[in-house]
Chains A and B, each alone.
Chain A
């Protein structure tokens, strides 16, 4: 466990400053899943700052995987599923980079990714599972060891702990110290936060510590795991954030059409327009468009409507 300042202190910084926790070549865990609670604003900032050669782990990867490969932010993605989203099928961007571009997609089963983060968060070097046994996935993963259980003799697979250097996690709310409350689907974010050696939280809003203390059962990540807190409304756009907004589907449709038509040039044009040109995250949101953002908000809030 790296030396860290675990005191109760304010950690609020800008996106630009938070990016300083991530150095080229680091192992970076990404919170959320598929198109949900993706820490998109933080990935956006890292891509703008031209970080490179990261090894990214996430339970399920969608267009965020395209972007980190396409921009050069990562050359290695550890996950269980990597496409643009069920509605669009195979990612031509992922295919281009994995089949011809020398980048690596390291596949584990979904539960195995979870057990790896959990072992990391538990402070043990591995956990046993039965998943992946008998499949060809296990043959691709020399990091996993098959054993005979010392108690029962059963075959088991040991999957190694995954302890990212940094985790990027987006939440609905947290206080300035990093006590984070997550509404709805948690995915693997609690284990990921505990497993990582540092955590950058982006949040839809920062609330007071008093407000956190009124509902401590909703706090899912304790402040002493957290190293930076960044307030970024719509920080998962164009993906969803539970209870607040659903995916911005027209933008996603247009994105998929553009990058699949040309996984290199289409991606470069997309990055130029939406990542490198805007001066701020708010300007990025303006490019996605007010109608799109408000429609996603209306749908997102409807989860609480009868």
Chain B
């Protein structure tokens, strides 16, 4: 090859690599309700990244139901990072798609969940049915709107929250807990496929007396429908829903984006990241930030999924086909 040609080629090649260096693109595959949070977080992160590495980064978002998003990654959607509402969704990517290495939950603090949320009760203005706690949801004549536990992580958390609260009240009596949870689901008029759809049913269609959903979804409702239209009731006990994140190893190794991906997720634990989370009504891990926003996060006795032996065990015991939730649904249908 002629020296001149070699030179041009070298220049051409280096300019290509320079171009790709200057333009790191990360794809964050996330779930529905996180849309608002990442809208605030991504620009803040891009600024931080540029200041730290003198390099630009572009973040692309993909939102949908948590498990649906995990399936897309398993089927080959090239996500650099995944941010889900259930650890089982990330575990599924580890097991079925093998794009994420086992042990992902040890790579970041707090079992790789930078913030958490919990299930709260949302009632109509003035709380006409006088709903104060889980017990009130079992009463006849109270309509409870929840998303379908078979198709929604939000719905599964609701089920577990009710079950766990019943266990606490009855000294761990499983039969009582089952009776209690069945009574609540007996009051459900509509089972929407996801959390957002349930919100629409409750707020827009005005169906039901109480909506059970994540605390941060309540903030979305306030922004969307106005604060005066509903009240948030904190039950005496609720479930701590950890919202986990992970780097997709196979993709970042292929794309060479590991450094940026790790930085993207680590920044979630930074003071700024935690503050943005708190502003979006996600409970922060950082003690200082938590103290600063303490007023908006009332104290609730929380229990974790560890109560059920972890999410994986809970899935098997309650939500797999033919498991407790299906039995309850069949019982309700039979009695009606």
Do A and B come from the same complex? no
Task: Mark A residues whose CB is within 8 Å of B.
Answer: none
B interface residues, Cβ below 8 angstroms from A: none
